[in-house]
Amino acid sequence: MSSRPVIGITCYVESVDRDPWVAQPSGVLPHGYIAHVEQAGALAVILPPRLDADQAMAAEVLARVDGLIIAGGADVESSRYGDPPHATAQGARRDRDTWELALAAESRAQGVPLLGICRGMQVMAVEAGARLEQHVPDRTGTTEHSIAPGTYGRHPVDVLPDTQLARILGAGTYAVPTYHHQAVDARSLEHTAYRATAWHADGTLEAMEEPDGVFRLAVQWHPEAGEDNRLFRALVEAAREAGRPAAS
């Protein structure tokens, strides 16, 4: 068995055209996720969503990996946290919501190191009982977090000292790739195990973590779209240290 940790990464199932095939249901994930995981010294496998996913299925899958990334994507359906949808809400992806919420819960039960990216941070927060801010520009009056459709912007985030994130990146201000219009409602984190670890100057929560126990860290930005590999290296190292069966 390989000595490299195995990192599962969630993805979409999309209809894809690939000559000569048309509208083929396919597992879809930006390759940056895979490239960063491999650069960090692990093996990457994708975990396509299923609408019929449940805790038992998530448990079976996670028993075969050493770490988990819940990847970016569309909005979490607002009914998952008890709110009506905002006018800007994207089409619901119930298969991903169902699958990723089950994975987030089961990863805690099994002690699987977890990194959430953009939507992944929001999934982790919702699974823990938090709510989402459905349209950040309503509060900020700007589109800095999502400058144009299909285009990553860059903006600064302030990483708080004395956090796991600061031990990985260093405390201070960093420019990060960004593309989101929703965010975790920081006030609702008070009733969860997560703590805020990075902010935008406009008051948008940009990262969170569980300070105790297994690695559970999430960022609102898109490290897979940049060059900085440190978050992926931290996940892979946590997977090694956890000593789970897949890495043995």
* pLDDT digit string, tens, across residues 55-88: 899 999 999 999 999 999 999 999 999 999 999 9
Q: Which of 5-9, 18-22, 76-80, 213-217 has the lowest mean pLDDT?
A: 18-22
% of residues, the chain, pLDDT over 90:
79
> What pLDDT does 51 receive?
84
**Average pLDDT score over residue span 108-116:** 97
Domain spans of the chain? 6-247
Q: Catalytic residue, from 145, 155, 222, 237: name it.
A: 222
Query: CA-to-CA distance for 134 and 89, rounded, in angstroms?
Result: 7
Q: Catalytic residue, from 118, 127, 180, 181: name it.
A: 118
- Helix, strand, or coil (residue 139): helix
> What pLDDT does 225 receive?
96
To the nearest 10 degrees (0 to 180), the angle between helices 119-127 and 94-110 is 60
Mean pLDDT, all residues of the chain:
94
For 72, what's the count of Cα atoms within 13 Å in the CB-facing half-sphere? 21
Best CA proximity match to 218, nearest among 165, 157, 177, 180: 165
Residue 1 has pLDDT above 50, yes or no: no
CA dihedral over 125, 127, 131, 134, signed as positive or negative = positive
Strand partners, 132: 184
Give every CB contact of residue 153 below 8 A, 6+ residues apart in sequence.
144, 145, 146, 147, 177, 178, 179
Residue 140: phi and psi, rounded to 5, are: -90, -25
Residue-wise pLDDT for 208-248, tens only, equals 999 988 999 999 999 999 999 999 999 999 999 987 665 45
Active site residue 222: yes
Residue 60: phi and psi, rounded to 5, are: -65, -40
**132 is written with which tokens?**
């989402």
**65-75 per-residue burial string, b: 16 or more CB within 10 A, e: under 16:** bbbbbbbbbeb
**Average pLDDT score over residue span 164-172:** 98
Residue-wise pLDDT for 115-126, tens only, equals 999 999 999 999
Q: Catalytic residue, from 77, 133, 224, 237: name it.
A: 224
Confidence of residue 2 (pLDDT cuts 50, 70, 90): low
**Average pLDDT score over residue span 18-45:** 94
- What would you report as the CA-atom Rg of the chain, rounded to the nearest whole angstrom? 17
> What pLDDT does 245 receive?
64
Choose between 92 and 175: higher pLDDT: 175
Query: CA-to-CA distance for 247 and 221, rounded, in angstroms?
Result: 28
Q: Which of 43-47, 107-111, 139-143, 200-204 has the lowest mean pLDDT?
A: 139-143
Give every CB contact of residue 217 below 8 A, 6+ residues apart in sequence.
114, 115, 116, 164, 165, 197, 207, 208, 209, 210, 231, 234, 235
Pick the CATH number of 6-247 from 3.10.450.50, 3.40.50.300, 3.40.50.800, 3.40.50.880: 3.40.50.880
